[in-house]
């Protein structure tokens, strides 16, 4: 049995199918010298067998043949995964519009009426083969890009906390999903020297490689800082200054940095254009948490960074999130929205942290109805003991 050919190096293969020897000879003469590999078949069954073995790029297929006509052959080719992508051009003396429509509805790409005109045959064959080559190159390029994005996404996930810290008073649970394998969402939980806990959540504008690179650089900068991590305002000032060169680009990042002091039951929080956290207290959501904000990072100098101070109580839960959750859309572009997120939190407030986040994601996915996310999605839940 013939093996599938190497499409990257072989010349395009054309299978010519006609039960009239004269027609076969005419078509072979027209195609010869054009650099194609030419195969012939005199009936439909032979055509299907040759096609399954050689997987031709294009089949020139007579309509009127005994036993299996051209429509039958085309239908069989399109139902077989091995030959589904083969280009089919019908050949017929029939000029009726209904016959042409029937052939095109079966998946044929074109229809050439007998008697054949050499220039017309060559022009149509070349045009369809060029289109197939371009589609193949586009598909290969897309597959390579998808693989690179998958690889980048895997590397990006390595930058996130492998284990979320516990200090006896605060526990964490998280959910993270990128839109196109890699993206700009970032969250982190830092154990500070003073026994406090720093919580950082950011969303770099855009998606893909550029957002992922900035996200990785933000993580490196945050972890390389040896001071000021107890001061949310200084964290934002330092990060905004470090990335000053991005002001010449369209990139920016919304961010939120909170410092929880569990011994004093207090939290200080700075917000740079980011959605404030949602507070669940005594099983009821209080949302959104009051939080003064400044502009997103990387856009301009920060004249001042307001820091809000909040009292925490045992049993409180704080949900930090990115707008990929609230802005998750259906096919008709309806958004999940903050109100639905609050309602979901209220409905499952008594659940344990992991189950609570799981239910939120189930609600979001159910709302989206299978529509893929356009943005990255991050949830981070902090629970006070």
CATH of the domain at 235: 3.60.40.10
Q: How high is the pLDDT of residue 199?
A: 96
Are residues 320 and 204 located together in one domain of the fold? yes
Are residues 216 and 356 located together in one domain of the fold? yes
Helix (H) or strand (E) holding 324: helix 323-326
Are residues 340 and 374 located together in one domain of the fold? yes
Q: Is residue 106 part of a domain?
A: yes
Q: Is residue 5 part of a domain?
A: no
Q: Is residue 302 part of a domain?
A: yes
Q: Report if pTM > 0.75.
A: no
Are residues 143 and 163 located together in one domain of the fold? no
Are residues 195 and 306 located together in one domain of the fold? yes
Are residues 132 and 185 located together in one domain of the fold? no
Q: Is residue 8 part of a domain?
A: no
Q: Is residue 184 part of a domain?
A: yes
Q: How high is the pLDDT of residue 180?
A: 62
Q: How high is the pLDDT of residue 181?
A: 58
Are residues 34 and 74 located together in one domain of the fold? yes
What is the count of structural domains for the chain? 2
CATH of the domain at 70: 3.40.50.2300
Q: Which of 125, 147, 169 is the last residue before a domain boundary? A: 147
Contacts of 212 (CB under 8 A, 6+ apart): 152, 153, 156, 182, 183, 184
Tokens encoding 300: 């301009």
pLDDT tens, 307-343?
Answer: 999 999 999 999 999 999 999 999 999 999 999 999 9
Range in 84-88, 94-98, 242-246, 266-270 with the lowest mean pLDDT: 94-98
Which DSSP state fits 168? S
Are residues 173 and 197 located together in one domain of the fold? yes
pLDDT at 33 over 90: no
Q: Is residue 199 part of a domain?
A: yes
DSSP 120-158: HHHHHHHHHHHHHHHHHHHHHHHHHHHHHHHHHHHHHHH
Q: Which of 147, 167, 192 is the last residue before a domain boundary? A: 147
Q: Which of 91, 117, 147 is the last residue before a domain boundary? A: 147
Q: Is residue 59 part of a domain?
A: yes
Domain boundaries, position 264: 159-384
Averaged pLDDT score across all residues of the chain: 88
pLDDT at 147 over 90: no
pLDDT tens, 155-214?
Answer: 777 888 888 887 678 999 999 988 765 678 999 999 987 779 999 999 998 777 788 889
Are residues 266 and 370 located together in one domain of the fold? yes
Range in 59-73, 90-104, 126-140, 273-287 with the lowest mean pLDDT: 90-104
Q: Is residue 372 part of a domain?
A: yes
Cα torsion 143, 144, 150, 151 to 10°: value is: 160
Q: How high is the pLDDT of residue 211?
A: 85
Are residues 180 and 114 located together in one domain of the fold? no
DSSP 261-321: ETTTTEEEEEEEBPPPPEEEETTEEE-SPP--EEPPBTSS--S----EEEE--TT-EEEEE
pLDDT tens, 239-258?
Answer: 999 999 999 899 999 999 99
Q: How high is the pLDDT of residue 146?
A: 75
Q: How high is the pLDDT of residue 297?
A: 96
Are residues 326 and 370 located together in one domain of the fold? yes
Are residues 130 and 184 located together in one domain of the fold? no
């Amino acid at each position: 049995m013939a093996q599938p050919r190497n499409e990257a190096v072989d010349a395009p293969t054309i299978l010519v199918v006609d039960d009239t020897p004269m027609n076969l000879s005419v078509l072979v003469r027209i195609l010869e010298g054009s650099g194609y590999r030419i195969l012939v078949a005199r009936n439909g069954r032979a055509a299907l067998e040759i096609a399954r073995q050689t997987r031709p790029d294009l089949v020139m297929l007579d309509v009127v043949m005994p036993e299996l006509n051209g429509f039958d052959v085309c239908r069989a080719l399109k139902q077989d995964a091995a030959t589904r992508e083969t280009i089919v051009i019908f050949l017929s003396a029939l000029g009726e519009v209904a016959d042409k429509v029937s052939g095109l509805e079966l998946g044929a790409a074109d229809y050439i009426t007998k008697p054949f005109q050499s220039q017309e045959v060559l022009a149509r064959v070349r045009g369809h083969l060029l289109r197939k080559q371009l589609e193949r190159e586009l598909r290969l390029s897309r597959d390579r890009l998808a693989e690179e994005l998958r690889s980048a996404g895997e590397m990006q996930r390595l930058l996130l906390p492998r284990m979320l810290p516990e200090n006896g008073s605060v526990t964490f649970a998280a959910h993270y999903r990128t839109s196109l394998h890699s993206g700009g969402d970032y969250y982190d939980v830092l154990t500070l020297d003073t026994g406090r806990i720093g919580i950082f959540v950011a969303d770099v504008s855009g998606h893909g490689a550029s957002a992922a690179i900035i996200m990785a650089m933000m993580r490196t900068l945050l972890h390389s800082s040896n001071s000021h991590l107890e001061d949310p305002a200084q964290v934002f000032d330092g990060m905004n200054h470090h990335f000053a060169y991005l002001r010449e680009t369209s990139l920016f990042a919304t961010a939120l940095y909170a410092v929880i002091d569990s011994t004093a039951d207090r939290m200080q929080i700075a917000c740079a254009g980011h959605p404030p956290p949602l507070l669940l207290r005594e099983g009821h959501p209080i949302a959104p948490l009051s939080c003064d904000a400044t502009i997103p990072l990387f856009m301009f100098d920060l004249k001042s960074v307001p820091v809000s101070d909040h009292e925490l109580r045992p049993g409180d839960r704080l949900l930090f999130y990115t707008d990929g959750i609230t802005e998750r859309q259906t096919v008709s572009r309806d958004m999940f929205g903050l109100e639905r997120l609050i309602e979901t939190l209220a409905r499952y407030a008594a659940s344990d942290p992991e189950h609570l986040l799981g239910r939120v994601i189930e609600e979001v996915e159910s709302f989206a109805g299978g529509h893929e996310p356009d943005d990255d999605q991050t949830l981070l839940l902090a629970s006070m003991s």
